[in-house]
């Protein structure tokens, strides 16, 4: 049995007519763990001596079970040509030694968990192994992949284990499901007795699956807090906001000025003063030839104005930069409320828009085809100030015709109220 000791004897007889010394040495597969005591004997003619052969096979997968030949070389010192190698057979007994490990010992999940089962055959004979899970209840399902393995002595294998529960845990604390996995030898021929050394084969492995709830406690607390805040909003804050908004709207309606009775029509787009007479031409306070050039209000020194728009058209070649300009006429102010930028060719490059000395925006041409901006509070520029559109052309685009353009072409339209400085 590996790990144990066995002995046998060998008798050496000198049948020559001289005194002879003999060197004895074990040979063959058993030589590594076989010793001869003594290893050298001297014999007179016609005498003999018995030596002991000691066998100490280690408990290792390298020492395979079965019959192993053993030889002892007997080498005469004076007549080496008369060497002899008597042989015998050593029967190595079987022993089972299995090393198993499961990792991780504890796995968390909503419905399933994965484990790794490592198995090593430290015995000296091939084994075929199966796996048997055990759990106090029937809440868990087990799946081994592969379901059985065959291992040669010294061989290692890994088996995947999937553990699954039948139903989720929606709320509350995590649920711990302990289970064990037993490894046992299978496929033994019928009638063959199981070896006595099988303790390691049947040693179970302990593990746990921790089933966590789908909705943890902190999420329930958060939802309750959000519901309370929403309820407080509808009951307390929302009526106050609605009341404040209604009061502001009523105040704005009360402050709105009443339009004057006599209004004339001006030239759309120029913002200049109109000419003409009020209808009727009579009545208290009426004067012929007076009126405003449009409707609109503004702050600053202007008293009134009309809707107006201007267009800036910029064309430039690839790799060049060019600036298009619109200048506010002398004696005028311009309240800008809307701009529309057209990149109908799909050019690539950069467009920068300035109102007077104020930079409004810088945009990449390739990010749009048509873009518009609107302001509730107008942006005012006064006489001789300019609206500029600076185009840096990186690559002319391809318009709807399907042919690439030779130049970048951008159009900027500016709209607002143009009025007189008084």
Tell me the three-class secondary structure of 186-249, residue by residue: ECCCCCCCCCCCCCHHHCCEEEEEEECCCCCHHHHHHHHHHHHHHHHHHHHHHHHHHHHHHHHH
**For residue 252, which phi and psi values (nearest 5 degrees)?**
-65, -40
Q: What is the pLDDT of residue 221?
A: 79
As a CATH number, domain 98-211 is 2.60.40.2310
Decide: residue 261, CB within 10 A, 0-12 exposed, 13-18 middle, 19+ buried: exposed
Rounded distance, CA 77 to CA 34, Å? Answer: 22
Nearest alpha-carbon partner for 418 in 263, 293, 311 = 293
CATH topology of domain 302-398+406-421: Jelly Rolls (2.60.120)
For the chain, give every domain's residue range.
Answer: 6-92, 98-211, 302-398+406-421
pTM: 0.48
Q: Which two tokens stand for residue 265?
A: 């029509």
For tokens 């009545």, name the residue: 283
Q: What is the pLDDT of residue 297?
A: 34
Find the helix or strand (DSSP H, E) in which 252 lies.
Answer: helix 238-255
Q: What is the pLDDT of residue 245?
A: 58
202 and 181 Cβ atoms separated by less than 8 Å: no
Q: What is the pLDDT of residues 339-386, one digit of tens each?
A: 999 999 999 999 999 999 999 999 999 999 899 999 999 999 999 999
Task: Give buried/exposed letters for 286-324 (b at 16+ CB in 10 A, else e).
Answer: eeeeebbbbebebeeebebbbbbbbebebbbeeeeebeb
Give yes or no on whether 6-92 and 98-211 have one common fold: yes
Q: CA torsion, points 241, 243, 245, 247, in degrees to nearest 10?
A: -150
Q: Calculate the alpha carbon distances from 299 to 58, 377, 395 in Å.
A: 106, 11, 42
List of the chain residues with pLDDT < 50:
198-201, 257-303
411 and 342 Cβ atoms separated by less than 8 Å: yes
36 three-class SS:
strand
The CATH architecture one would assign to domain 6-92 is: Sandwich (2.60)
Q: What is the pLDDT of residue 293?
A: 33
Q: What is the pLDDT of residue 121?
A: 94
Find the helix or strand (DSSP H, E) in which 159 lies.
Answer: strand 156-165
């Amino acid at each position: 049995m590996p790990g144990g000791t066995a002995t046998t004897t060998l008798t050496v007889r000198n049948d020559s007519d001289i005194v002879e010394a003999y060197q004895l040495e074990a040979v063959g597969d058993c030589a590594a763990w076989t010793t001869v005591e003594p290893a050298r004997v001297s014999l007179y003619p016609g005498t003999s001596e018995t030596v002991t052969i000691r066998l100490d096979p280690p408990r290792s997968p390298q020492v395979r079970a079965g019959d192993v030949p053993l030889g002892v070389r007997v080498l005469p010192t004076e007549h080496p040509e008369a060497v002899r190698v008597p042989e015998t057979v050593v029967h190595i007994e079987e022993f089972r030694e299995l090393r198993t490990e499961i990792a991780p010992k504890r796995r968390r999940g909503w419905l399933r968990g994965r484990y790794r089962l490592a198995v090593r055959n430290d015995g000296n004979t091939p084994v075929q192994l199966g796996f048997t899970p055990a759990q106090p209840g029937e809440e868990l399902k087990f799946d081994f992949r592969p379901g059985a393995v065959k291992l040669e002595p010294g061989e290692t294998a890994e088996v995947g284990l999937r553990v699954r529960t039948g139903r989720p845990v929606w709320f509350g604390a995590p649920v711990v499901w302990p289970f064990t996995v037993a490894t046992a030898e299978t496929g033994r021929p019928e009638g063959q007795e199981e070896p006595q050394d099988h303790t390691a084969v049947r040693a179970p492995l302990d593990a746990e699956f921790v089933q966590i709830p789908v909705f943890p406690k902190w999420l329930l607390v958060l939802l309750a807090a959000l519901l309370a805040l929403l309820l407080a909003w509808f009951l307390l804050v929302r009526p106050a906001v609605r009341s404040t908004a209604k009061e502001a709207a009523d105040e704005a309606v009360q402050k709105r000025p009443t339009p004057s009775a006599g209004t004339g029509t001006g030239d759309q787009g120029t913002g200049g003063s109109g000419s003409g007479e009020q209808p009727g031409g009579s009545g208290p306070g009426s004067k012929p030839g007076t009126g405003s050039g449009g409707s609109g209000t503004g702050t600053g020194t202007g008293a009134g104005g009309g809707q107006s728009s201007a267009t800036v058209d910029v064309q430039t070649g690839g790799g060049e930069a060019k600036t298009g300009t619109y200048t506010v006429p002398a004696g005028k102010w311009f309240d800008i409320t809307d701009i529309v930028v057209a990149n109908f060719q799909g050019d690539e490059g950069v467009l920068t828009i300035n109102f007077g000395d104020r930079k409004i925006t810088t945009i990449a041409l390739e990010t749009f085809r048509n873009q518009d901006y609107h302001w509730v509070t107008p942006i005012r520029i006064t006489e001789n100030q300019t609206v500029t559109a600076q185009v840096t052309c990186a690559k002319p685009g391809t318009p709807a015709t399907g042919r690439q353009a030779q130049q970048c072409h951008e159009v900027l339209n500016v709209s607002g109220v143009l009025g007189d400085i008084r």
